[in-house]
Chain A
Amino acid sequence: MSALLRIEDLHMEGRRPTGEWMPIVRGVSLEARRGEVLALIGESGAGKSTIALSSLAYARPGCRFTGGEVLFDGTPVLDLSLEQKREMRGRRVAYIAQSAAAAFNVAHTLAAQITEGPAVHGTMPQAEADTQMVDLARRMRLPEPERIGRKYPHQVSGGQLQRLLAVMAMSCGPDLLVFDEPTTAIDVTTQVEVLAAFKDVIRESGAAALYVTHDLAVVAQMADRIIVLYGGEIMEQGGTDQILHEPRHDYTRQLMAAVRPPPRASGSGADLESSAQPPVLSLQGIDAGYGGVKGGKPGVQILFDVDVDIPRGQAVGVIGESGCGKSTMARVISGLTPSFEGEVRLDGKTLPPDVKHRDKKDLQRVQLVLQMPDVSFNPKKLVAQALGRPLEFYLGMTGAERDRRVGELLNMVELPADYAGRFPHELSGGEKQRVNLARALAAEPDVILCDEVTSALDTVVGAAIIKLLESLQERLDTAFVFISHDLSTVASFANRIVVLYAGRVAEQGPTRRILSPPYHPYTRLLLSSVPEMRTGWLEDHRATREAEQAMADVVNIGLTGCPFHTRCPLMIPGTCDVKRPPVHRLEEDHRIACHREIGELQEAPGVHG
């Protein structure tokens, strides 16, 4: 069959903040056929999205086409008039964006936006478009397909929005679908269902698809063919199995090496001499939340009775879906969100709940590294000033002593000492995150809180940051609290893992015990939802009852019973929905909060192994 989309020797440029134009796509040629999913993979800056968007004859602001051709169904689309491009977009080529929450317009109902395509392209009357939307929503297994269109974007969950974006894309029956990192912003548990829905859509419509992602395990589920990009050039292309299992190009091998294996007990990193150590930091019976406190309770309670010990010099991973209270836990430890019940103890000394009441010494001992390296620096201050400030404030260093220490800190995070003279905008995302880490280290703290520190970074860059954290943790006597929704990353690095669900600790213990039976049912759901780098995993996984059950609901902060009971395949009616689960205490301080007996929790996650 002839190609639906043919890109020939495409050249594009992007404008730097300084104003000059730089090549960002250099001579890329590719073909996509009907009924085929072609994946574009690579790090950010590889030109994946830019190339994918060229199939819509669209260059983002600050980008421009400089050479080559894009042929869609035989038509050179770059030469079309604005009006002709508009007629093609949405009707023949449809786009599914990275973040549905941002792509939908908050001011209009979902139905108005989904049926807008047929209306502006005149493909069908309004009534027919409405019926079609309900039908597509049903096929996407969205709840209440007849009524969901009447809602506004903020009234539905992220995973549902992402599927609604696919409904919108399908509304004009396009021939080519462009997926731009469509599951990057959502949880693993939700990702499974969204990927399955996308796959159904592609198969049923017989359209061609471009699938842009940096997640290789996702690629394994979705793609027929893969193109590996680096710096705007094609490094390698081939069938999915060939690229994933027999990569030929060095860069592809490098990409594969950066992929963390799915979390398994055997593969997991640093082991312990753990529980012997007295905890450097301990949370006891923490209740916390947001909103004004009334009658001893805040408006919205997020954390419920959280007990967690952080042993000195160890890495503790905190995992759970979004909305489970991971970041709130970090904020309680740092005092930014004061707990209203329970205690935060540092070396046995109770800290004031509110950061305002903590003294300099308390502040120095707990440091925070934030998620977004791009916005956590003052753009007007040099790296030397950003790092010098905590040195002066906490340690009283000045002059040459401070400058020498800034150099040492940069070396600790594997950056050259002359980076001290740079401004934040002269650093890459990964380098900024290293400086962020150096800033936390500058205070010589006992505990460093890392809140999703790699989630804004690429796989390869993120993997390097994790490696750095591992080596720092081995060398220093600092404890790390590592918050992430990425189970593989946490499992590879943490000595202990805390699994949070709806603000409660579902399970906690040494990493290898968390990753092997007995499992808390929620831990098992999380583990089994991490895609494996093999084709066919998605289909296998969906057949399991965990996936079936977990689909039933999203994270709800329930006040009675076990919060997970609405999604739990092992739920005991009359018990789990009414009573708080007891905490089973096993060896090495491994704790599981569940009504089931330990024996019943021994079963391994469905599809693994």
Chain B
Amino acid sequence: MIANLIVRRLVLGVITIWVMSALVFFGIEILPGDVADAILGQGATEETLHAIREELGLYRPAYVRYLDWLGGLLRGEVGEALGTGRSIAEMIGIRLPTTLTLGGLTAAIAVPLALSLGLIAAMYPGSLFDRAITFGTLIVISGPEFLIATLLVMLFAIELRWVPAVSYLSQDPTFQQIARAMLLPVMTLVFAVLAPMTRMTRSAVLNVMASPAIEMAILKGVPRMRIVLWHALPNAFAPIVNVIAINLAYLITGVVVVEVIFSFPGVAKLMVDGVQSRDIPVVQACAMLFCAIYIGFYILADVISIVSNPRLRHPK
């Protein structure tokens, strides 16, 4: 039963990624100009364009090129960057750890913090702490990352001059350099994802707290802490895991904004640079990577909520 459901989710995930690949490819395809234009830029002549199109096989129909590209993806060959001719896999490979560190650090701070804040708020609904959380998160939710990032830069980099405004890393950075470079981007991202996770934890737990099972626990004389952690939390688990996964997936888009603002040398910056220089293979590869991560989180959330359902884990 469980295995069946999980396999179904995985299959759906693969199908979604495939659909995304088509959207990414044909989305770029319908933009004006092609790779040959991009390579040659202003100095293009009919002959040189023709020669490059011939060489890259751009005269073949779109679906043939799509299948060709898809086949490459499946074999792990994502091709070379147009401008430099460097292997795209290698370029992503160098930058991926930095981006993952950024996201991972954010998650490591935001998830436990959001869970604790949400749980404490749910334990004492209507209290001053609860109202402060509800109000504070509402304000933060309403502010987009670029605004938060700008405010943080104004405060910490310009007014206080504690950290640089741009996250530049030297060839062989020391721990302190990394920490200084990471501070503002991580703070921005934590702000962006903390609020929805906190609110969802609070409301999921409160929702369960209103159920007859919790009233039963109160009337059994179970202490409040145990009611929240042992009775309510396991039942609120699925919605909480879902919102965590969705927010971690959302980090991906947040990462794009943040890396650009702080000139942070990650995959998202690579992609945005690719867009600017019309380096289509790089953009496609990065887009597919982000899609895969995004969908991966959603599948993970589904799988965890399937596995955490006692009705499925212990069938009749």
Q: Are A120 and B216 closer than 8 Å at their CB atoms?
A: no
B311 at the interface (CB under 8 A from A): yes
Q: Are A107 and B235 in touch, CB under 8 angstroms?
A: yes
B75 at the interface (CB under 8 A from A): no
Residues of A in contact with B, size category: 20 to 34
Mark interface residues in A73-110 (1 if CB within 8 Å of B CB, else 0).
00000000000001111110011010100111111100
Using known A-B contacts A116-B222, A155-B316, determine if residue A104 contacts B310 with beta carbons closer than 8 Å: no
Q: What are the residues of chain A within 8 A of B216 when measuring CB–CB?
A: 95, 97, 103-105
- List A313-356 residues whose CB lies under 8 Å from chain B: none
Q: Main SS of the interface on chain B?
A: helix
Stretch at the interface among A54-62, A216-224, A590-598: A54-62
Contact, CB under 8 Å: B231 / A105: yes
A105-B235, A106-B310, A152-B314 given; A120·B222 CB < 8 A: yes
CB contacts under 8 Å to A, within B292-316, are 310-311, 314, 316
Least distance between B198 CB and chain A CB atoms (Å)? 22
CA distance A287 to B144 in the complex (A): 57
Please indicate the chain A residues that have their CB under 8 angstroms from the CB of B231 in the complex.
Answer: 105, 107
Inter-subunit contact A58/B222 (CB<8 Å): no
> Which of B210, B219, B234, B310 has its CB near the most chain A CB atoms (within 10 A)?
B219
A154 within 8 A of B: yes
Using an 8 Å CB-CB cutoff, how does the interface string of B124-139 with A read, 1 for contact, 0 for none?
0000000000000000
**Are B223 and A86 in contact, with the CB atoms below 8 A?**
yes
Residue B221 lies at the interface, judged by CB distance under 8 Å to chain A: yes
Q: How large is the interface on B (under 10, 10 to 19, 20 to 34, 35 or more residues)?
A: 20 to 34
Give the one of B212, B216, B220, B314 with max A CB within 10 A: B220
A106 to B216, CA, bound (A): 13
Q: How far is the CB of A587 from chain B (nearest CB, A)?
A: 43
In the complex, are the beta carbons of B311 and A154 less than 8 A apart? yes
Contact status of A116 and B311, CB under 8 A, knowing A105-B231, A107-B235: no
- With A154-B310, A154-B316, A155-B314 in contact, is A60–B220 under 8 Å at CB? no
**A87 to B223 CA separation, bound complex (whole angstroms):** 9
Give Cα distance in the complex from A91 to B219, angstroms. 10
Task: Digitize A264-305: 1 where CB-to-B-CB distance is under 8 Å, 0 elsewhere.
Answer: 000000000000000000000000000000000000000000
Question: Which residues of chain B from 189 to 246 have any CB-CB distance to chain A below 8 Å in the complex?
Answer: 210-213, 215-223, 226, 230-231, 234-235, 237
Cα–Cα distance between A486 and B214 once the two chains are bound (Å) = 30
Which of A58, A60, A107 lies in contact with B310, CB distance below 8 A? A107
Name the residue on B nearest A107 (C-beta). Answer: B234
CA distance in complex: A108, B231 (Å): 8
Residues of chain A within 8 A of B235, CB atoms compared: 105-107
Assembly CA distance A215 to B75 (angstroms): 71
CB pair B218 A103 closer than 8 Å: no
**Residues on the A chain within 8 Å of B310, using CB:** 106-107, 152, 154
Question: Which single member of B221, B234, B316 contacts A90 (CB below 8 Å)?
Answer: B221
Instruction: State the CA gap A155–B216 with chains docked (Å).
Output: 19
Contact A121 B221 (CB under 8 A): yes
Distance of A222 Cα from B303 Cα, bound (Å): 48
Told that A86-B223, A106-B235, A106-B311 touch, could you supply 4 new A-B pairs with CB distance under 8 A? A58-B219, A104-B213, A105-B234, A117-B221
B residues within 8 Å of A by Cβ? 210-213, 215-223, 226, 230-231, 234-235, 237, 310-311, 314, 316
List 26 contacting pairs A-B, 8 Å CB cutoff, sorted by A.
A53-B219, A58-B218, A60-B215, A61-B210, A88-B221, A90-B220, A90-B221, A94-B220, A95-B219, A95-B220, A99-B212, A102-B212, A103-B215, A105-B216, A105-B234, A106-B311, A107-B310, A116-B217, A117-B221, A120-B220, A120-B221, A120-B222, A120-B223, A151-B314, A154-B311, A155-B314
Q: Which 9 A-B pairs have the closest CB atoms?
A: A90-B221, A90-B220, A107-B234, A89-B221, A102-B212, A95-B219, A103-B216, A105-B213, A86-B221
